[in-house]
Amino acid sequence: MRHSLPTIPQFYVTAPQPCPYLAGRMERKLFTALQGDQAEAMNDTLSKQGFRRSQNVLYRPSCADCCACLSARIRVQDFEPSRSQRRVLNRNSHLQRHVTSAWATEDQFDLFRRYLDSRHADGGMADMDVFEFAAMIEETPVRTRVLEYIGHNANGRRQLQAVCLSDVLDDGLSLVYSFFDPEQAARSLGSYMILDHIALARQIGLPYVYLGYWVPGSPKMDYKARFSSLEVYCEGSWQPMRDPSRYSGTTHPLSVKPIAEQVAGLTLPESLSAPIAPMRPKHGK
């Protein structure tokens, strides 16, 4: 099924497949290609509407009867680290941040494989080879950076310990994907990379750090709710995070708008905007 705005781009819907976050549910995504001269403007504009980037695609969950996934971002100016987050900063204060262009290296891939094998051996990325990894890092039509965090091993040699692939939006930094040394899990390197992005965004004057999706009821996502000044994209707008326990992941067949209505309600960059005409679904190949 394909749904189109009256001007480019065109939006598509994936076939349902098992949800990786909530057992017994099926996920479906609304997505569009990210290409051409408008790629950065599209990434900036749709990220503000709950979309995420994966290589040259922008996507947003659009499940048939579930709207549990909520895009999350941190208001940088108002953020205050908790006591435990200050301990995380102290434990990792020796790490050196190295920012590079979106270029994959063997050291990154070795770390990525160890991370997957230890923490996500049965996940959808478990079989990624070096070429697919390089594509994940390098296939980007927008301002993307790789942030490497370097420490020292037991022998005192420099060692890559964590990596984050991040986009630079017009209003923030967006963490696309991160991974770290599984043997250093006790140092909370995942949380440290978020904290470091907050510090970097504050330094360069960007108001938000985008964290991807927070899913109430998913233990994998609990850590995101621990950051102060968190906002979630809910019912078409960004709202301050309330008590996480008040958010429900229950399903209901009327909880999600029809795809055509979702697409018609999107805001596009001004150069692509046009009056929204009545839409009819079109069958794609």
**CA-wise closest residue to 249 among 211, 273, 225, 215:** 215
Helices (H), the chain: 39-47, 83-91, 106-119, 130-138, 189-204, 259-264
Assigned superfamily of 73-246? Gcn5-related N-acetyltransferase (GNAT) (3.40.630.30)
Instruction: Give 165-185 pLDDT, tens digit per residue.
Output: 999 999 999 999 999 999 998
Say what the pTM is.
0.89
Instruction: Give 73-108 pLDDT, tens digit per residue.
Output: 999 999 999 999 999 999 999 999 999 999 999 999
Mean pLDDT on 49-65: 94
**Count of beta carbons in the 10 Å neighbourhood of residue 276:** 13
- The yes-or-no verdict on residue 281 having pLDDT over 50 is no
**Confidence at 245, pLDDT banded by 50, 70, 90:** confident
At 199 the pLDDT is 98
The torsion angle over the Cα atoms of residues 215, 227, 199 and 125, rounded to 10 degrees, is -30
* CA–centroid distance for 31 within its chain: 14
**Confidence at 284, pLDDT banded by 50, 70, 90:** very low
Measured between alpha carbons, how far is 262 from 134 in angstroms, rounded to an integer?
A: 33
Per domain, the residue ranges of the chain are: 2-68+248-272, 73-246
Alpha-carbon distance values, 240 to 70, 133, 223, 228 (Å):
12, 35, 17, 10
Measured between alpha carbons, how far is 233 from 50 in angstroms, rounded to an integer?
A: 6
Mean pLDDT on 213-224: 89
Which of 36-50, 145-159, 164-178, 235-249 is predicted with the least confidence, judged by mean pLDDT? Answer: 235-249
